[in-house]
């Protein structure tokens, strides 16, 4: 397991940039937890908890859930003991309000400045990545029908379960998610850049190439 100087890593980028995939490989490489507000919300929707019921419609439409709700989720998760050596935020913050909240929380917890990794990808690649995305509902492994297909058509390589598409990967929801990104999340690139915390990574390459760069970047930060 490799050591880490920076405590908080933030993955920023449009939906389909590969944030989740890259966050997972950096988390494994450095032995720190990956915190995905999207995964927490999807889990709550599956279990039908009050949080899930409140978030479901907005998520299915591709709209953002309120700052209050996601800040609560993130704060509770960051305060768990397994984050003591550091943690990765995947899909949070997504608005300036969330970024301000996080800055306050990191200060309070004595965690220092975050390292923000901006995964940059062109619009044509994004559209293909999002429409081809499939997940195994049993083991959670992700595939892409265009770029990294399973060995057998639409079936998981690991446990042979039929793969599913996320409810918010339909055409209209994708359009809405990209619009929400442009309006609400893209300003964070400027926000973190002005504070000297942003590192730009070309996410249009193969997952392995991107991971190699990220391991070096994080190890040297």
Contact residues: ligand AMP, CB under 6 A? 15, 37-38, 41, 58-59, 62-65, 70, 91-94, 98, 168, 177
Residues whose CB falls within 8 Å of the CB of residue 218, separated by 6 or more in sequence, listed in order? 4, 6, 9, 26, 29, 30, 115
Q: Catalytic positions, please?
A: 19, 94, 133, 166, 177
Q: Which is nearer to ligand AMP, 85 or 104 (CB)?
A: 104
Rounded least distance, CB 144 to ligand AMP, Å: 15
Rounded least distance, CB 108 to ligand AMP, Å: 19
Q: Which is nearer to ligand AMP, 136 or 168 (CB)?
A: 168
Rounded least distance, CB 121 to ligand AMP, Å: 14
Pick from 98, 50, 58: nearest CA to 74:
98
Contact yes or no for 207/21 (Cβ under 8 A): yes
Pick from 29, 18, 38: nearest CA to 147:
18
Q: Is 213 left (phi over 0), alpha (psi -120 to 50) or beta?
A: alpha
């Amino acid at each position: 397991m490799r050591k880490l100087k920076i405590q908080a890593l933030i993955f920023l980028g449009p939906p389909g940039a590969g944030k989740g995939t890259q966050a997972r490989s950096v988390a494994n490489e450095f032995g720190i937890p990956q915190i995905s507000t999207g995964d927490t919300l999807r889990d709550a929707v599956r279990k039908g908890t009050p949080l899930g019921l409140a978030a479901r419609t907005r998520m299915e439409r591709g709209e953002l859930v309120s700052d209050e709700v996601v800040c609560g989720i993130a704060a509770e998760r960051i305060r768990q003991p397994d984050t003591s050596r550091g943690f990765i935020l995947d899909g949070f913050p997504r608005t300036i309000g969330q970024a301000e909240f996080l800055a306050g929380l990191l200060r309070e917890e004595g965690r220092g400045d975050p390292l923000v990794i901006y995964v940059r990808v062109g619009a044509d690649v994004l559209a293909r990545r999002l429409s081809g995305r499939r997940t195994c509902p049993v083991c959670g492994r992700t595939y892409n029908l265009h770029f990294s297909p399973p060995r057998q058509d639409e079936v998981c390589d690991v446990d042979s379960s039929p793969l599913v598409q996320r409810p918010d990967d339909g055409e209209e929801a994708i359009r809405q998610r990209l619009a929400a990104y442009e309006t609400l999340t893209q300003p964070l690139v400027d926000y973190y850049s002005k504070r000297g915390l942003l590192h730009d990574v070309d996410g249009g390459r193969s997952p392995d190439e991107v991971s190699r760069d990220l391991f070096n970047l994080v190890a040297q930060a």
